[in-house]
Amino acid sequence: MKTTETPAPVPAESGTPVAKIDAAPRRPVRGSREGSVLNVFSHGILVVWAIMVVMPLVWAVMTSFKDDSSIFGSPWSLPDHLHFENWARAWTDANMSDYFLNTVLVVGGSLVGTLVLGSMAAYVLARFDFPGNRFIYFLFIGGMSFPIMLALVPLFYVVNNMGLLNTIHGLILVYIAYSLPFTVFFLTAFFRTLPTSVAEAAFVDGASHTRTFFQIMLPMAKPGLISVGIFNFLGQWNQYMLPTVLNTDPDKHVLTQGLVQLAVSQGYKGDWSGLFAGLVMAMLPVLAAYVVFQRQVVQGLTAGALK
């Protein structure tokens, strides 16, 4: 059996200092202590912010199951029993069902149109170089900074001259135009992060530009589409100014107009329990959409920073 011998230590030459090993424990790094304090402080701020955001939502849901006397008599207490008739009254008597259906039609149509047109424009601006590329891109960015209040009067006359006033499809077209600048800005940066080798391989295999976009590049951009779709959904679902100006027909009101009409039409006899029930009805689809797609939203927001 072959054994290995440990070499003997070589004595240091005369005049050569021998390094000594310091066995004393190291002192804790000051930066780690400061980092832990900053971490506790930031988490405390997040907890306070979460309480400020969640508590009004919980209070609104809890109030929607109370009667009017309990709302004013004990606003912070739990309901003695669940008054589901508040929701039924708001859904039927206040026409919240019609407002909800109109909102679904308007937001659904405008969301699909915004994502399709916005992704096509963003893909061309991100992948192709042509004269005027940057000019068109900056026009979309300029549309983000244009106040919608300044466009209400000319927009009213344009929609009226086109015969689209007080129509669902007219409101859909306006929502699409309103949401396109942010959608193009967001998706252009996202398409630039996607690998070009996949598209080049598709072109080599004989795929056209249309097939490459819809079957290859668009599925790869799914996180970005979901993220910008959530943002557009929030903005379009809660939109009040545009439908107020362009949609004055009571039979075609959306949820935001219906809630205002419910609050104003009561006069001095307020149906506060029904109003809170209608408010929660308008709020639940937005919360449900974010809870379902929250992981995709985070992936879409961080994908642009990773390449």
Q: How does pLDDT run across 283-306, given as a tens digit for each residue? A: 888 888 878 877 766 666 665 544
Decide if pLDDT at 148 tops 70: yes
Q: How distant, in Å, are the alpha carbons of 49, 61, 86 from that of 83?
A: 31, 12, 6
Higher per-residue pLDDT: 288 or 28: 288
Amino acid at 142: G
- What topology does CATH give the domain 93-303? MetI-like fold (1.10.3720)
11 against 173, higher pLDDT: 173
- Highest mean pLDDT pick, 7-11, 81-85, 131-135: 131-135
Structural domain spans, the chain: 37-83, 93-303
pLDDT, residue 307, reads 45
Which among 290, 287, 273, 289 has a CA at the least distance from the CA of 60? 273
- The pLDDT assigned to 297 comes to 67
For residue 269, what pLDDT is reported? 64
Long-range contacts of 44-52 (CB under 8 A, 24+ apart): none
Burial (0-12, 13-18, 19+ Cβ within 10 Å), 220: middle
Look at the pTM and tell me if it is higher than 0.85: no
Q: CA 239, CA 237: separation in Å to the nearest integer? A: 6
Query: HSE (CB half, 13 Å, CA atoms) of 154?
Result: 5
Determine the Cα–Cα distance for residues 196 and 8; give it in Å rounded to an integer: 61
User: What are φ and ψ of residue 235, in 5° steps?
Assistant: -70, -40
**What pLDDT score was predicted for residue 2?**
47
CB-based contact 114:180 (threshold 8 Å): yes
Q: Give the pLDDT of residue 105.
A: 94
pLDDT grade, residue 68 (50/70/90)? confident
pLDDT at position 301: 61
> What is the structure's pLDDT at 181?
94
The stretch 181-204 carries a mean pLDDT of 89
Residue 143 has pLDDT above 80, yes or no: yes
User: pLDDT category, 279, cuts 50, 70, 90?
Assistant: confident
